[in-house]
Amino acid sequence: MEATQNAFLLWVFDGIAPLFVAYSHRVIELAGRRVVAHFGQEQIVGAVVSQHARAARTAMLKHLREVERDIVDCLKQATSAPGPGAAMT
């Protein structure tokens, strides 16, 4: 966030930082998420450091879509799982 030098973005992030940290800890524990996230973040940082704005944007969008997909898959699994006391077949 600081690299953007965008005062508004920094102000917004300061307000949501505790929620973002809690969310990140939950998401990173999803199966396989840590490895995929690390690779995606390397791509983002590499593009930013190289000052390739289009590549950074593309890498960030890909990363966000992967996170979204993993969260949706996890939620689908959670809602399709039998509840307590359900008969097992």
Confidence of residue 82 (pLDDT cuts 50, 70, 90): low
pLDDT in tens, 70-79: 889 888 888 8
pLDDT in tens, 37-56: 999 999 999 999 999 999 99
Q: Kindly list the distances between the CA atom of residue 40 and the CA atoms of 10, 36, 51, 55, 63, in Å, as whole numbers in the listed order.
A: 22, 6, 17, 12, 6
Query: Which of 9, 5, 3, 10 lies closest to 49, judged by CA?
Result: 3
Q: Where are the domains of the chain?
A: 1-30, 34-68
Model pTM above 0.85? no
